[in-house]
Amino acid sequence: MTDCWVEGAAGSLFDVDNLPWGVFSLPGEEPRVGVRIGDLVLDVAPVAAAEMLDSHHVFQEPSLNALMAEGRQVRASLRTWLTGLLTDETERDLVEPHLLPLGEVTLHLPVEVADYVDFYASLDHASNVGKMFRPDAEPLLPNWKHLPVGYHGRAGTVVPSGTDVVRPCGQRKAPTEDSPSYGASRRLDIEAELGFVVGTGSALGSRVAVADFADHVFGVVGLNDWSARDIQAWEYVPLGPFLGKSFATSISHWVTPLEALDAAWCDLPGQDPEPLAYLAPGSARGLDIAVEVELDGEVVSRPPYSSMYWSPAQMLAHMTVNGASLRTGDLVASGTISGAERDQRGSLLELGWGGQEPFTAAGRERTFLEDGDTVTLRYTAPGTRGGRIALGEVTGTIVPALD
């Protein structure tokens, strides 16, 4: 194991066992593909061209989609190639001119999102929401432990980390009110999630088995599924969340390739009843990823991804069991990550128990998001070199509603 020669990278959260992919631009130039190492971005295209890589054209694209479509083998060999470049001192003269300080580049939405599916895979989150939205019924609906519940979200409003979020307007009706009123959401919330990005699609009429997850998924992004709880609560029967979610979903600039998570796989908490055969966990496992929810500079929650009930591979198998095809760029989100403890909850709805049990952040009592609030989600996982790696963080600031 040779150390990375890039200044400050070895032993950092962005060492050569991380190497996330993103899309950057320099002033006056078109966006293209980069790889993060330490606090620098490697401009891959000129290096790949100099080394006459077959796939060098994919690095000139304004999204990762062409790269992702190359498939698992290409992704793995590029990772080996990059690791060589960044650990072999003799490559330094070739590579160093193409390392750009993060502060000098603009980062963009890394993926052209095809379809966006959002699951609901945390037992604690689903139970908490059930208790609040349906107080007179069993918190967990009868289907929840038999299949990973999910729905389609709006792909066109997936935005990159750093994009301001305009407080949405819409119809809201409290249970105590006779009729709905129009106005800005009063219960604006976050959902701390992880997103899985599809690289290799699948044909209409075929299925992706649990065991074939890594043949289709390229990597992982941080994801904040902004939610207007008052709009959602009024609209969501019987066809599910719509405008309460569709105004914005933020994802990280960086896509962590699946191989960087090789040391992060862990056992699932356990599934009872045993799922039907097509969902049998088999080799499907959980991910030991630590999440931090920061509100106005203070960490208010640390949801553990390892507590998720359904594995990512089960989600992908479920969403294709009816023959639905996958496309390069499909984004599959986990749903809110919440652990069993109060300080492990991944939404303000749960942290403040629907506004009834305010919590404290940065010295102030809080329930839902206020204008000017900034939320940042951070994710780390065990790396393959013994330390930890950082996944792409995702941040956003609430700006006032229109009108």
Residues 225/193, Cβ–Cβ less than 8 Å? yes
Q: Applying CB under 8 A, which residues contact a copy of itself? A: 114-116, 120, 130, 133-134, 141, 143, 146-147, 149-157, 159, 166, 168-171, 173, 179-182, 204-207, 228, 231, 234-244, 246-248, 273, 276-278, 318-319, 321-327, 330, 402
Q: Which is nearer to a copy of itself, 110 or 241 (CB)?
A: 241
* Cβ neighbours around 190 below 10 Å, total: 28
Q: Which two tokens stand for residue 122?
A: 């945390």
Cα-based torsion angle of the residue sequence 93, 256, 199, 194 in order, rounded to the nearest 10 degrees: -170
- Going from the C-alpha of 95 to that of each of 41, 45, 62, 92, the distances in angstroms are 11, 11, 21, 5
Q: Which is nearer to a copy of itself, 49 or 204 (CB)?
A: 204
Q: Which is nearer to a copy of itself, 15 or 235 (CB)?
A: 235
Q: Which is nearer to a copy of itself, 40 or 121 (CB)?
A: 121
Residues 374/396, Cβ–Cβ less than 8 Å? yes
CA–CA dist 294, 301 (Å, integer): 7
Nearest distance from C-beta of residue 120 to a copy of itself, angstroms = 6
Exposed, middle or buried by CB within 10 Å (0-12, 13-18, 19+), for 199?
buried
Nearest distance from C-beta of residue 23 to a copy of itself, angstroms = 18
Nearest distance from C-beta of residue 132 to a copy of itself, angstroms = 12
Residues 149/120, Cβ–Cβ less than 8 Å? yes
Nearest distance from C-beta of residue 374 to a copy of itself, angstroms = 18
Nearest distance from C-beta of residue 198 to a copy of itself, angstroms = 10
Q: Which two tokens stand for residue 291?
A: 């999440």
Give catalytic residues, as residue numbers. 125
Q: Which two tokens stand for residue 146?
A: 């038999």
Q: Which is nearer to a copy of itself, 235 or 294 (CB)?
A: 235
> In sequence order, what are the residues at sequence separation of 6 or more whose Cβ sits closer than 8 angstroms to the Cβ of residue 300?
293, 294, 343, 351, 359, 361
